[in-house]
Amino acid sequence: MIPAPATLDEAAVERYSRQLLLSEFGESGQLKLAQATATVVGCGGLGVPAALYLGAAGVGRLILVDPDQVSLDNLNRQVAYGTADIGRPKAECLGSRITQLNPTIEVEARVEAVTEATAKCSLAPADLVLECSDDPVTKFWVNDYCTARGISLVLGGAVGLAGQVVAVPPGGACYRCLFGGPPAERGPSCRDAGVLGPLVGVIGALQALEAIKLICGFGQAPGGRLLDFDAYTLRWREVRFPTDPSCPVHGGSSRGNGHN
């Protein structure tokens, strides 16, 4: 494991110079990133831009989790991969790309799905998790795991011409507070309804932005917030929501189900 720096050396000051200039960020923010571990669940359309931006920004340790391999129909939107990567594990390809971009950070690729059996290695070490999969059940499972343990979480989704981001700080209103639980019938996916490549870039980059703000401790509005983006009209909609007192994660009834 690469040790987290206590100060910034000359090379780090030059590498991160543009974000170091920000009064909201500065050297203290850069050191918080360097000392943080972030897990990216899903290395597809959202996970690729999210992980690339976090790696470029200097998050000290990135854990990339995805069981799938690169396929030809990924390449219109998952821009870290090339034609030569077809058939290779996404997590490993993305890890290699991030290491080329920023060799000063630690990147761990895990070619597996997130389950209760794998969470100890993929989720438990994280200060923050980005949920970038296209599976509603996985989103709720990751939400419950992170919320019950006080791990910051940023969830994203995109299909067709619409995308959403929900940030869940420790102790804050969570994904289950907003939606209750997975739908009885799974809605259309990108495979069914399609998606434009730049849309997943917008949403994945916004997930990375929210993640950096959570790690560094600035710019977070109180209460729950969903950001909804309509790519057709280029309009954003903000939905505020409170903690649901009947939410099983906040209420503690999930503690008998492996989420404590």
Q: Which residues are catalytic?
A: 190
- Report yes or no: 69 and 90 within 8 Å, Cβ to Cβ: yes
